[in-house]
Chains A and B, each alone.
Chain A
Amino acid sequence: MSLRTSPPEDLVARALDGDRRAVGRLLTLVERGGADAETVASLTQPHAGRAHVVGITGSPGAGKSTLVSQLVAGIVDNGTVPAVLAVDPSSPLTGGAILGDRVRMADVDGVAFIRSVATRGHAGGLALSIPGATRVLDAVGYSPVIIETVGVGQVEVDVTAAADTTVVVVTPGMGDAVQANKAGLLEVADIFVVNKADRPGASDARRDLELMLEFSHVTGQENENYRPPILMTNSLDGDGVAEVLSAIDTHRRFLDDSGERAVRTRRRIRFEIENRLAMAFDVTLAQRLAEPATEALIDRVAQGDLSVVDAAEQLRQMMLGSREN
């Protein structure tokens, strides 16, 4: 009970001392947003920046959670304590969610710090709170911080702006070489994992990805100092997991040695600023759309006196005007 009413300052102090309950509470404050979340952000910022942040993404059922569980076990064996932010979708209808990633992480949930996060209405594969939550876990000393996205399709690439290293998990039967060359998710991978590699079609998936990377070479999209590896895993029994950990480490060293880390840090800051602004504008927009003036404009469009384009433009002018007051 005391924790629930503790001010953010006390919680941060306790969290830095290793109190997991305080860490859990801080993540709640970050998720809720508002003044407390901003206090937490400014108090944790000075302690953050040490953890390597690894994003794990891929389609629903690709085996992300199971792979994360195996990665965590390997990381613990290597002597550090990681944290996991496991994101699952909120219902667009009720706002509720079933967060089920822990089911696959039962072997490691006493060691690592695992937090299930609902998207709470945000598209893009992550929740808006992820940058702030990552900062808290980084500040209190977990490393690496692993972000597992919701099961994604082709365009949800937010994770690349939130993570230092992005691992894209695919499975046999994901489609043909044309699928692999479509724009989107596959373009942003730092490491490819073909999971369920014991299943038929695994080598086809690997070949399609290799071909896709060859085309990146031809078109000049590839980074000449770094080529994403394609690794085969079976995350149920742990086959290939050590190779994934070693590839993550190789990529981490590439970031440091090439200066790419600075580029990504700036990208992450930009992403967070952009998200905060988008959130603020969304609220302003929702308030404006709820006003009677909007209803009056809708009436005029419905009656045929005004075009949709003109109605939107009038509202835009009114919003800009009110902003300057």
Chain B
Amino acid sequence: MDDGLSSGTEAAAPIRVVLTKLGLDGHDRGIKVVARILRDAGMEVVYLGLRQTTDSIVAAAVQEDADAIGLSMHNAGHMTLAPAMLKAMAEAELEIPLVVGGIIPEDDVQSLSDAGVAVVLGPGAPSEEVVNSVRAAVAAA
């Protein structure tokens, strides 16, 4: 009976992702689609909604023991906000991947990666790419 209790659920633990938007950015169609994509891939999406701060996102990720943080960005603030998020995560010793998606110009992708963003998903990224890149980033952490 002990075997039954311990083997049944452990392997199947879903990936938990905190998904949100940082700062003043009200474009939430994309993030809602991404939430559905991740849910339908079997992940648990902790959706925080809009207008979060780096501190509120870190607090949520700590309490939720998230495996990754996903930020949706459509206000051209990614070059400022993504590094700010990484800094807040480092200060809290949160060693989980940051995934950024949204309107990210091709020219900025390398800088974001260099800054420590694990995955950058641009407009039109297919569902499989979203799911697989999150899985890969979590597995690599």
List residues of chain A with CB under 8 Å of any chain B CB: 1, 20-21, 23-25, 27-28, 31-35, 38, 90-91, 93-100, 102-103, 106, 109-110, 113-116, 118, 120, 276, 279-280, 282-284, 287
Chain A binder among B7-15, B73-81, B104-112, B118-126: B7-15
The complex places the Cα of A96 from the Cα of B7 at a distance, in Å, of: 20
Q: Look across to chain B and name the residue whose beta carbon is closest to the beta carbon of A96.
A: B39
CB <8 Å contact, B47 and A103:
yes
CB <8 Å contact, A34 and B39:
no
Q: Look across to chain A and name the residue whose beta carbon is closest to the beta carbon of B45.
A: A98
A–B Cβ pairs within 8 angstroms, 17 of them:
A24-B65, A34-B10, A91-B39, A93-B40, A94-B39, A94-B40, A96-B14, A96-B40, A96-B42, A97-B44, A98-B35, A98-B39, A100-B49, A103-B47, A118-B44, A280-B4, A282-B8
CB <8 Å contact, A95 and B45:
no
CB <8 Å contact, A25 and B65:
yes
CB <8 Å contact, A283 and B55:
no
CB <8 Å contact, A115 and B64:
yes
B1-35 with Cβ < 8 A to chain A: 1, 4-10, 12-14, 35
Contact of A280 among B5, B14, B48 (CB under 8 A): B5
Q: How far is the CB of B47 from chain A (nearest CB, A)?
A: 5
Contact of A95 among B14, B52, B62 (CB under 8 A): B14
The complex places the Cα of A106 from the Cα of B53 at a distance, in Å, of: 10
B82 at the interface (CB under 8 A from A): no
Q: How far is the CB of B19 from chain A (nearest CB, A)?
A: 9
CB <8 Å contact, B65 and A276:
no
Which residues of A are found within 8 Å of B60, using beta-carbon distances? 102, 109, 114
Which residues of A are found within 8 Å of B99, using beta-carbon distances? none
Which residues of B are found within 8 Å of A32, using beta-carbon distances? 9-10, 13
The complex places the Cα of A115 from the Cα of B35 at a distance, in Å, of: 18
The complex places the Cα of A33 from the Cα of B44 at a distance, in Å, of: 17
Which residues of B are found within 8 Å of A115, using beta-carbon distances? 63-64
Size range of the chain B interface in the assembly: 35 or more
The complex places the Cα of A314 from the Cα of B78 at a distance, in Å, of: 64
The complex places the Cα of A280 from the Cα of B49 at a distance, in Å, of: 38
B103 at the interface (CB under 8 A from A): no
B136 at the interface (CB under 8 A from A): no
Which residues of B are found within 8 Å of A23, using beta-carbon distances? 63
B59 at the interface (CB under 8 A from A): yes
The complex places the Cα of A109 from the Cα of B5 at a distance, in Å, of: 33
* Residue of B12, B42, B47, B65 ringed by the most chain A CB atoms within 10 A: B65
Closest 8 CB pairs between A and B? A283-B4, A34-B6, A24-B65, A96-B39, A103-B49, A33-B9, A28-B65, A96-B42
CB <8 Å contact, B5 and A95:
no
Which residues of A are found within 8 Å of B46, using beta-carbon distances? 99, 102, 116
CB <8 Å contact, A100 and B47:
yes
Q: How far is the CB of A120 from chain B (nearest CB, A)?
A: 8
The complex places the Cα of A20 from the Cα of B10 at a distance, in Å, of: 23
